[in-house]
């Protein structure tokens, strides 16, 4: 049994040293499209952890939209993307989001 294991492919994946390859059904980092966002903030209201923040740095008529995600709070449930009627948010399968510093966990999407 032990001898047979020498020739078997590993069941685990090499991570940090190698590339993380996940099924594309995995819910990972969100993608944001500021061009379609109407600043309704439904995504923020429905987020169970308060991880997402939508900010308009422009005016009501000339929007300058930005989305920020606290990857330390996000549980990657996809609720914000489901709540968005404009499909401005979607889930990607990118999941290697670890950071050394706590402040770096909040990123602009
Ligand atoms: S729900 Fe969609 S359209 Fe509304 S603020 Fe969030 S991303 Fe923008
Ligand atoms: S995926 Fe879930 S936890 Fe993360 S920002 Fe969207 S609603 Fe919030």
Domain residue spans of the chain: 23-108
pLDDT for 1: 65
How far, in Å, from the CA of 39 to the mean position of ligand 1?
Answer: 5
Which residues does 49 contact at the CB level (< 8 Å), separation at least 6? 73, 74, 75
Residues of the chain short of pLDDT 70, as ranges, are 1, 16-18
As a CATH number, domain 23-108 is 3.30.70.3270
pLDDT for 62: 95
The strand ranges marked E within the chain are 30-32, 52-56, 65-70, 89-91, 106-108
pLDDT for 18: 67
Q: Which tokens belong to 31?
A: 């993608």
How far, in Å, from the CA of 23 to the mean position of ligand 1?
Answer: 27
Distance separating alpha carbons of residues 28 and 99, to the nearest angstrom: 15
Are the beta carbons of 46 and 80 closer than 8 angstroms? yes
Q: Tell me phi and psi for residue 58, to 5 degrees.
A: -100, -145
Is the minimum distance from the CB of 84 to ligand 2 under 6 angstroms? no
pLDDT for 21: 74
pTM, full prediction: 0.85
Is the minimum distance from the CB of 83 to ligand 1 under 6 angstroms? yes
Q: What sign results for the dihedral spanned by CA atoms 9, 98, 74, 89?
A: negative
């Amino acid at each position: 049994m032990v001898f047979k294991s020498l020739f078997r492919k590993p069941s685990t994946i090499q991570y940090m040293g190698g590339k993380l390859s996940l099924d594309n059904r995995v819910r990972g980092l969100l993608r944001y499209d500021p061009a379609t966002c109407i600043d309704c903030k439904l995504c923020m209201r429905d987020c169970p952890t308060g991880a997402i923040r939508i900010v308009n740095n422009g005016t009501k008529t000339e929007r300058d939209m930005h989305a920020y995600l606290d990857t330390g709070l996000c549980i990657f449930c996809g609720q914000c993307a489901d709540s968005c009627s404009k499909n401005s948010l979607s889930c990607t399968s990118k999941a290697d989001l670890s950071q050394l510093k706590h402040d770096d966990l909040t990123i602009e999407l």
